[in-house]
């Protein structure tokens, strides 16, 4: 996804400083300076906090477990009985609470969540599938050690901007994204970085 955003930036004549920071920190930074955040789920709580650009991807929200029959999760009811980790301040955290999950632990980054799941600190990790692949690789963990146990939903993930970014600039980013879709470069980038390459599946 970083490649996608950098390509969009090139098309709008921007040279952004892309940093990976905890989501809560990114939301705090967006309060008082021009900034963009990706990939961000949209929720009623966030609606007025940010200005919303294009939907970059519709992503599967999944529960990952460690590989092994003893870690399998058969259905949603079984999942709700488990200890679930997820990203703090995220739409996935909201999704779990809305669906009645009672034992949820929020962590600052997906890389930390991957390491905690690998260490058995919780039973499953709720995460967008593409983000899971990236975090597992960044944490230098063996991809075959994780499995997609259950898909909870599909969620659109946005490129969002702080209110300090002029609407005309946001419109340029949105137009550049539509141009990428039209000329086929979006499809090529998404194929190259398709989710599910690092993580197995029980489906």
- Bridge-based pairing of strands 200-201 and 104-107 is unpaired
- Upstream peptide bond of 181 is cis (omega within 30 degrees of 0): no
Alpha-carbon gap, residue 128 to 49, rounded angstroms: 22
For the chain, 203 residues long, give each residue's pLDDT as a single digit of tens. Answer: 788 999 999 999 988 888 878 888 888 989 889 999 988 989 888 899 999 999 999 989 999 999 987 788 989 999 999 999 999 989 899 889 989 999 999 999 999 999 999 999 999 999 998 889 989 999 999 999 999 999 999 989 999 999 999 999 999 999 999 999 999 999 998 887 554 444 544 43
Predicted TM-score (pTM) of this structure:
0.76
Measured CA distances, 93 to 90, 104, 112, 143 (Å): 5, 8, 15, 23
For the chain, list the strands marked E by DSSP. 36-41, 51-66, 84-87, 104-107, 124-128, 146-161, 200-201
């Amino acid at each position: 996804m970083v490649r996608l955003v950098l390509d969009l930036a090139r098309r709008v004549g921007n040279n952004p400083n892309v940093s990976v920071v905890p989501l809560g920190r990114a939301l705090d930074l967006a309060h008082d300076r021009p900034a963009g955040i990706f990939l961000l789920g949209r929720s009623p709580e966030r609606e007025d906090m940010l200005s919303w650009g294009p939907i970059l991807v519709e992503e599967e929200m999944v529960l990952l477990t460690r590989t092994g029959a003893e870690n399998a999760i058969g259905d949603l009811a079984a999942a709700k009985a488990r200890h679930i980790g997820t990203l703090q301040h995220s739409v996935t955290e909201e999704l779990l609470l809305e669906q009645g999950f009672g034992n949820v632990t929020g962590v600052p980054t997906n890389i930390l969540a991957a390491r905690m799941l690998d260490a058995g600190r919780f039973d499953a990790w709720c995460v967008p599938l593409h983000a899971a692949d990236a975090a597992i690789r960044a944490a230098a963990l063996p991809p075959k050690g994780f499995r997609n146990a259950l898909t909870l939903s599909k969620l659109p993930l946005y490129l969002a901007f702080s209110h300090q970014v002029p609407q005309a600039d946001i419109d340029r980013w949105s137009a550049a994204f539509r141009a990428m879709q039209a000329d086929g470069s979006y499809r090529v980038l998404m194929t190259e970085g398709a989710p599910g390459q690092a993580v197995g599946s029980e489906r």
